[in-house]
Amino acid sequence: MGKPVPKPVPKPVPEPTPETQPFWDGCAAGELRLQRCRACVRPYFYPRPVCPSCGSAEVEWFTASGDATLYSYVINHRPAPGFEADAPYAIAVVQLAEGPRMMTSIVGVPQTPEALSLDMPLRVTFEQRGDISLPVFEPAGEWRQ
Amino acid sequence: MSKAAIIAGAAETNSLGKLPGYSTLGLHIEAAVNAVADAGLSFRDIDGIATVSAPGPVQVAHALGITPRWMDGTGVGGTSFLLHVRHAAAAIAVGQASTVLITHGESGRSRVGAARFAPGLSSPPGQFEAPYGTFGPTTAFTIPVLRYMKDYGLTHEQLAYVAVAQRRWAAKNPRAMFRDPITVDEVLASRLVAYPFHLLECCLVTDGGGALIVTSADRTGDFPKPAVHVLGAGESMETPMISQLPDFTESGAFRLAGAAAFAEAGITTSDVGHLMIYDAFAHLPIYGLEALGFVAKGEAGAFISDGNTEPGGFLPLNTNGGGLSYTHTGMYGMFAILESVRQLRGEAAAGVDPEISVVLGNGGMFATSGVLVLGRSPL
């Protein structure tokens, strides 16, 4: 009898709530959907039923451009459960063209400081994770490899 | 309101470090026993209790045989104990409690009787951060700093120097876990945890605890140790998710909590003789110095690497060695308060004899903040 082999843990799959379901439905349709306030017209993320800028509950969904730039990141050498094969991997925050920021992964590019340049242009793409289509970003324009 | 309160008792667990013989609750109990003894009191004198969950005020009070008439379970991360001091001072001022025990204990390293923390996958962090491979503070608290480096020119060497400066304080402290001097080159050669952070730019993970007794300033002189006056206090919050921090180059929560505490105490930065800034990672003293107004935006890295905060410098910072070298159980705020108390009492291993000491606490990952202005005399 050898040592028991730990069961591999899958990567976490987001569990939508009623408030966030339209976002995940958008991802499944290949669209990055954000909310904006009808009163103050500001787009925001993460999904919630009230505008964080002015408190209005008059909010609506719209489809974002999918364009972003790289705002900041780390390259993680201590993988989360399920991410062992990916390490080291970047955990990034991107600046969406519409204004809000979101955490994401940067795909299609080496996970190195040399290849990941702050403010580089990015474009959304989607990865299947269980039943969820997860928004991730890849280099855009002349940064495409 | 806080001017009416003093810290009359303050103590850590007998040891800090790797303590597999204690549960989290056991560490709370030992810290409480030591703090009550330090104040020359017994548990019968305690009528208020504050601590974070878990284990929470009910488990701790019951274990100690206390039936409080006031309790506070504020649990907003490692700064919670600073908020407990503020809340206790307010409760004492209006007569809701007379003698409040605040406890911290955490089996952060050995994980004996410790709570698990993982965000539920339906929570906002669970839906919008965890799927990208975050795994605790090393993967998230660290994310803002590359933006700060690009916008303000902070160098890798300056970031590393924060750990070097604090190790110089730790070298003077027999209770510090790491005491051997280190160089910038050694910090940058330590293994990468989450680029740009190397191991020596990340805090320790230890077991330990600490506790405080807060009571009315009317009782100054009734206790064996010199009173430490709570001159001002502030608290604030900013974001439950690092990705939603409005500006990655500053902490609004640090700034707001600090401004409230300084205003209540009626002090400015030039009145401060000693400073503790919660340092889970090497960038926090940089963000903290700027948020409190000790230096202008973008200047803190050079301020530290020029030697201003290390032994011999004019603004002694993190004189116990900090979370980077002294100890860090997970919720470090209690240890930052305790070092300020030791400094004001003249008990610190590396004493700098301050009249006023400021403690800046962080909770979560730039999620919450508390600031205390503590003094040797009532202002």
Structural domains of chain A ordered from first start: 18-64 (no CATH), 65-145 (2.40.50)
Q: What is the band of A120 on the pLDDT scale with cuts at 50, 70, 90?
A: very high
Nearest chain A Cα distance for residue B125, angstroms: 9
Give the CATH number for residue B63.
3.40.47.10
Q: What percent of chain B has pLDDT over 70?
A: 99
Point out the residue among A15, A74, A113 whose CB comes nearest to the CB of B142.
Answer: A74
SS3 B199: helix
pLDDT digits (tens, 9 = 90+) for B29-82: 999 999 999 999 999 999 999 999 889 999 999 999 999 999 999 999 999 999
ipTM score here? 0.95
Nearest CA in chain B to A104: B132
B185's CB contacts (< 8 A; 6+ apart) are: none
Statement: residue A2 has pLDDT above 70: no
Name the residue with tokens 């009626």: B266
CA within 13 Å, CB half, B116:
3
Asked if B146 lies within 8 A of A77 by C-beta distance, the reply is no
Nearest chain A Cα distance for residue B237, angstroms: 15
β-bridge partners, A37: A59
- Four-point Cα dihedral A37, A42, A45, A47, nearest 10: 0
Show the domain range for B318.
2-113+204-375
Asked if A16 lies within 8 A of B124 by C-beta distance, the reply is no
Nearest chain B Cα distance for residue A36, angstroms: 16
- If residue B216 lies in a helix (H) or strand (E), which one and from where to where? strand B207-216
pLDDT of A74: 98
CA–CA dist B80, B320 (Å, integer): 20
Residue B267 falls inside a structural domain: yes
pLDDT digits (tens, 9 = 90+) for A6-50: 678 899 999 999 999 999 999 999 999 999 999 999 999 999 999
Nearest chain B Cα distance for residue A103, angstroms: 6
Point out the residue among A11, A91, A132 whose CB comes nearest to the CB of B139.
Answer: A91
Point out the residue among B126, B133, B145 whose CB comes nearest to the CB of A89.
Answer: B133
Point out the residue among A12, A73, A113 whose CB comes nearest to the CB of B143.
Answer: A73
CA–CA dist B201, B155 (Å, integer): 13
Residue B189 falls inside a structural domain: no
Q: Interface of chain A against chain B, CB under 8 Å? A: 11-17, 20, 45-46, 71-83, 86, 88-89, 91-93, 101-105, 113, 118-119, 129, 132, 134
Q: What is the band of A3 on the pLDDT scale with cuts at 50, 70, 90?
A: low
Nearest chain A Cα distance for residue B140, angstroms: 8
Mean pLDDT in chain A?
95
Closest by CA position to B209, among listed B7, B8, B16: B16
CA–CA dist B288, B302 (Å, integer): 14
The DSSP symbol for B296 reads -
Q: Interface of chain B against chain A, CB under 8 Å? A: 120-122, 124, 126-135, 138-140, 142-147, 150, 191-197, 241-244, 248
Residue B349 falls inside a structural domain: yes
Residue B108 falls inside a structural domain: yes
Statement: residue B1 has pLDDT above 90: no
Residue B356 falls inside a structural domain: yes
Strands B48-50 and B99-107: parallel
Residue B371 falls inside a structural domain: yes
Asked if A80 lies within 8 A of B144 by C-beta distance, the reply is no
Residue B46 falls inside a structural domain: yes
Furthest-apart CA atoms within chain B: distance in Å = 56
How many domains would you assign to chain B? 1
